[in-house]
Amino acid sequence: MLEKSVVNPIWACRAFPAFPVVLAVVSDGKGNSNVITIALVHMFSFNPPVLGIGVSPARHSYEMLEAANDFSINIPSMDLVEEVLYCGQHSGREVDKFEDCGFVPTPAKKIKSPVIAECPVNLECVKRQRIDAGDHVWYLGEVVNAEMAKDTDREKSLMYWSGDFRVPGDIVRKR
Ligand SMILES: Cc1cc2nc3c(=O)[nH]c(=O)nc-3n(C[C@H](O)[C@H](O)[C@H](O)COP(=O)(O)O)c2cc1C
């Protein structure tokens, strides 16, 4: 038997290996768009495809997401790790993250929020549900349009948890 002790539940959640990390973009509908780094991202439904992002009410993006009808989720590859960190350490209240990171805000096909051309995968999401989970609010969005670079390599997608950026590791078993 594994020997266990009771630990702080908040601390125990640090045991997760890592979560995917994405760049979410939301527009205020007046020509201003903001990028936020998000590790709280998950797939809530396969068909229809529904993705959720968890956003703290402290973020500038939260105010924008409350007002918006859509957002984009952009999957960065490992070569964008510095930009991902930058967008996770600076607020759109003070800086223009598109400009500072050299990202091109590209008009999306089916939503008002733009996508990030430099990310190999762009997912256009229409807000469907809002879940107040605690210190983060989850926005669930249906993916209404998706674009993907031909040479997208899932093994180079970034992951993050507890201070460490990673890429997926070894496959230990096929299902
Ligand atoms: C790797 C990483 C992951 C993050 N994940 C989240 C997240 O899932 N939800 C969230 O609200 N903030 C997250 N943050 C923090 C925000 O990205 C950060 O506070 C950002 O500056 C907010 O920008 P804004 O004020 O322009 O919205 C993360 C930061 C980093 C570096």
86 confidence band (pLDDT: 50, 70, 90): very high
Give the residue from 72, 56, 62 showing the smallest Cα distance to 144.
72
What is the structure's pLDDT at 125?
A: 99
In terms of pTM, does the model score above 0.85? yes
The domain defined by 19-151 folds into: Pnp Oxidase; Chain A (2.30.110)
User: Ligand 1: which of 13, 25, 33, 37 to mutate, judged by most atoms within 8 Å of the beta carbon?
Assistant: 37
Burial class (CB in 10 A: 0-12, 13-18, 19+), 133: exposed
pLDDT over 90 at 120, yes or no:
yes
Q: Which atom of ligand 1 is nearest to the CA of 136?
A: 11
Q: Write out the DSSP string of 51-108.
A: EEEEE-TTSHHHHHHHH-SEEEEEE-BGGGHHHHHHHHHS-TTT--HHHHHT--EEPP
**Mean pLDDT (the chain, rounded):** 97
Q: CB under 6 Å to ligand 1: residues? A: 21, 34, 36-40, 54-56, 59-61, 85, 88-93, 136, 160
What is the structure's pLDDT at 140?
A: 98
> How does DSSP classify residue 157?
B
pLDDT digits (tens, 9 = 90+) for 9-35: 999 999 999 999 999 999 999 999 999
What is the structure's pLDDT at 7?
A: 97
Phi-psi region of 77 (alpha: psi -120 to 50; beta: other; left: phi over 0): beta
Rounded to the nearest whole angstrom, what is the distance from the C-alpha of residue 112 to the centroid of ligand 1? 22
Identify the residue whose C-alpha is closest to ligand 1 atom 10.
55
Residue 62 near residue 75 (C-beta atoms within 8 A): no
User: Ligand 1: which of 23, 34, 38 to mutate, judged by most atoms within 8 Å of the beta carbon?
Assistant: 38
For residue 125, what are the β-bridge partners?
71, 143
User: Ligand 1: which of 25, 28, 36, 93 to mutate, judged by most atoms within 8 Å of the beta carbon?
Assistant: 36
C-alpha distances out from residue 11 to 42, 43, 48, 112, 118, Å: 21, 24, 34, 39, 35
What is the structure's pLDDT at 105?
A: 87
If you search the block for the tokens 């993907």, which residue do you land on?
148
